[in-house]
Chain A
Amino acid sequence: MHRFRFVLWRPLQLLPVLFGISVITFVLIRSIPGDPARLLLGTRATPTALAKIRAQYGLDEPLWTQYLYFLQNLSQGEMGRSIVFKIGVLDLMANRILPTVLLVVGSVILSLLITVPLASLAARNRGRTVDHAIRLVSTAGLGLPAFWLGIMLIILLSVNLGLFPVAGFGDTWLDRLHHMVLPCLTVALALSAVLTRNLRASMIAEMASDQATAARARGLPERVIFRRHVLPNSLVPTINLLAVNIGWLIGGSVVVETVFSLPGLGQLLVRGIFARDYMVVQAIAMAFAVATVLINFLADVLTVAIDPRIRL
């Protein structure tokens, strides 16, 4: 499949971006006011101990040398230790990655389950009351703060109806899924507002397209035309929009994890900032950036798989 050849060389193209990500996180963390050695050892450290730590981490060397150390450690999978948790940052992240992955994947799936029927309903009834209602709700939905939406869902479904747990993650898989429903729904609803507007617009454009007219001229019923011609064609721009929004999605998950006390990477990031646990902040910021880049790459692969015309 020569169309997929870009899968081989695209990662090479991404190297400068990954390099840039590492520079930015490095510079950010090093520009935090205060002495990193003192931060590591605490306020009561002796001057000898401080000097020793500085030498050990190369903190007394020029900044660019420190950056090279940082890259060297990075290549060996060494990202430092958490001051708060006293374990390696990578181990810490490994323990926290599951809720975040579940949250992002779950909300993408859920948002598509919400978006596709809603947008179809609106597009097929263009100009009628249903359409106006869906457009109104999705426009208003653009301004829904995810954290507030989460709290409202908790009040409504957890506190009043007792359907879902208020917070936390659970131990068994079933229990975890139960805990994930509300956080996923929160992110999915916020995301659906953006996607529905976009998908509706591209569906309407596709329904008026030449190829849909040609399909009508072949006598196909409207529902077949919609399912086989309109839907696949209009999904391509929506998948791209989803990819563009992946950064927003990860940012949103940081906040939503805090709302629901989900022990994920986002919550770890926020706690890391308050605890001044900078190795953790640095590692998670980098991990999120790299994940964003990779997911965009995956979206490109998916777009090429759906639309045979596209070559990258």
Chain B
Amino acid sequence: MSVALARPRLRTPGLPVPLVLGVLLVGAWAVLAVGAPWLAPYDPIAQDMAAKLQPPSAAHWLGTDNFGRDILSRVIWGARIDLQIGFLGVIFPFLIGTCIGAISGYAGGIVDNVFMRLVDIVLAFPFLVLMIAIIAVLGPGLASFYIAMALVGWVSYARLIRAQVLVLKHADFVLAAKSLDFGHGRILFRHILPNALTGSIVFAMSDAVLVILNGAAISYLGLGVQPPIAEWGLMIAEGQGFITTAWWITTFPGLAIVVLAFGFSLLADGLGELLGVRE
């Protein structure tokens, strides 16, 4: 064993590297999404049959699809929809799940039992299958996707928050608040909940990855975003008929999903590191 003495391992000051990279990646997509009208070189839905199925070139960096639409422009415009999916698809379940989990854990007893049995039942369904079934009832479309997401996605948050609340319920500062005769609502939402949120905020970042993938998958199946709107999952579905001749139609929107999802994964890892949360 060589006696190579490591310098004392000091914590490098500043933010974890994954967090910085994650913020940069997600931020870059956000800039593209916001700036789409100015940044996209072409109209994302304007057809140009003269320029259909062109491979990547100087005029069309990422090629064109079977309607002659510019893939680069569609990918940039697609960022708007897919970022929105990632945001709204997480925020609704987060809010619902946090409320239910907090009430369930704080109230205990029958309320807790009923909610947790409901969680068990919803978790018994494969996530995507239940989503698809709900969307089938509501009819295809992005609105249906968000509703289904809210109806199915809350369970993970409810479980996380409930577990935290169960622990914090008996913490000293909560007992102190109780002894001061604060109302239940104030104790739960002002004292317990802020301390219980850290874990689920980190989880929300990694959940965003799954939500974006699910949203793209639902659109791929034809149950989400409808043509001619540019959305990455839908673009992949539209390009699948041309894989033997025009690989670029499917490849680039998929890469866009991978990069955005990677950004959120890094964000989750980095945030977890920063806040000391292990999944």
A and B are partners in one complex rather than unrelated chains? yes
Q: Which of A21-68 contact B (CB under 8 A)?
A: 21, 24-25, 28-29, 31-32
Q: Which one, B120, B130, B240, contacts A17 given CB within 8 A? A: B120
A117 within 8 A of B: no
Binds A, one of B61-69, B101-109, B183-191, B218-226: B218-226
Q: Could you say which residues of chain A place their CB within 8 Å of the CB of B209?
A: 142-143
Contact: A145 with B257, CB < 8 Å? yes
Q: Could you say which residues of chain B place their CB within 8 Å of the CB of A273?
A: 132-133, 135-136, 223
Q: Which of A132-169 contact B (CB under 8 A)?
A: 139-140, 142-149, 151-152, 154-155, 159
How many whole Å from A216's CB to the nearest CB in chain B? 13
Q: Which one, A17, A139, A149, A254, contacts B128 given CB within 8 A? A: A254
Contact: B269 with A139, CB < 8 Å? yes
B117, B125, B247: residue with the most chain A Cβ atoms closer than 10 Å: B125
Q: Could you say which residues of chain B place their CB within 8 Å of the CB of A25?
A: 133
A248 within 8 A of B: yes
Closest residue of chain B to A255 (Cβ to Cβ) is: B217
Chain B at the A interface: SS class = helix
Contact: B236 with A147, CB < 8 Å? yes
Evaluate whether A269 and B129 lie within 8 angstroms (CB atoms) in the complex, with A155-B247, A159-B243 already known: yes
B260 within 8 A of A: yes
Cα(A254)–Cα(B121), bound, Å: 20
Q: Which one, A149, A154, A252, A289, contacts B125 given CB within 8 A? A: A289
A281 within 8 A of B: yes
Q: Which of B88-144 contact A (CB under 8 A)?
A: 117-118, 120-137
Q: Could you say which residues of chain A place their CB within 8 Å of the CB of B254?
A: 145, 148-149, 151-152
A293 within 8 A of B: yes
Closest residue of chain A to B221 (Cβ to Cβ) is: A270
Closest residue of chain A to B208 (Cβ to Cβ) is: A143
Contact: A142 with B125, CB < 8 Å? no
Q: Could you say which residues of chain A place their CB within 8 Å of the CB of B154?
A: none
Closest residue of chain A to B133 (Cβ to Cβ) is: A285
Cα(A137)–Cα(B259), bound, Å: 12
Cα(A25)–Cα(B126), bound, Å: 13
Contact: A140 with B247, CB < 8 Å? no
Contact: A281 with B133, CB < 8 Å? yes
Closest residue of chain B to A278 (Cβ to Cβ) is: B136
Contact: B132 with A270, CB < 8 Å? yes
Cα(A25)–Cα(B125), bound, Å: 10
Q: Could you say which residues of chain B place their CB within 8 Å of the CB of A251?
A: 126-129, 131
Could you mark each residue 171-206 of chain B with 1 if its beta carbon is under 8 Å from any beta carbon of chain A, else 0? 000000000000000000000000000000000001
Closest residue of chain A to B121 (Cβ to Cβ) is: A20
Q: Which of A276-293 contact B (CB under 8 A)?
A: 281, 284-285, 288-289, 292-293
Contact: A139 with B266, CB < 8 Å? yes
Q: Could you say which residues of chain A place their CB within 8 Å of the CB of B247?
A: 155
Cα(A21)–Cα(B123), bound, Å: 10
Cα(A204)–Cα(B236), bound, Å: 38
Contact: A254 with B260, CB < 8 Å? no
Q: Which of A255-312 contact B (CB under 8 A)?
A: 255, 258-259, 269-270, 273-274, 281, 284-285, 288-289, 292-293
Contact: A247 with B243, CB < 8 Å? no
How many whole Å from A142's CB to the nearest CB in chain B? 5
A221 within 8 A of B: no
Cα(A284)–Cα(B261), bound, Å: 30
Contact: A20 with B128, CB < 8 Å? no
Cα(A142)–Cα(B258), bound, Å: 8
Cα(A293)–Cα(B257), bound, Å: 31
Cα(A288)–Cα(B130), bound, Å: 10
Evaluate whether A255 and B128 lie within 8 angstroms (CB atoms) in the complex, with A142-B261, A152-B254 already known: yes
Closest residue of chain B to A156 (Cβ to Cβ) is: B247
B251 within 8 A of A: yes
* A residues lining the B interface (CB < 8 Å): 16-17, 20-21, 24-25, 28-29, 31-32, 139-140, 142-149, 151-152, 154-155, 159, 246-252, 254-255, 258-259, 269-270, 273-274, 281, 284-285, 288-289, 292-293
A-B contact pairs, 11 of them (CB 8 A): A16-B120, A20-B120, A32-B136, A148-B216, A151-B254, A155-B243, A247-B129, A248-B126, A258-B220, A288-B125, A292-B126
Q: Which 10 A-B pairs have the closest CB atoms?
A: A143-B261, A251-B128, A20-B121, A148-B254, A247-B126, A250-B126, A273-B136, A251-B126, A289-B125, A288-B129
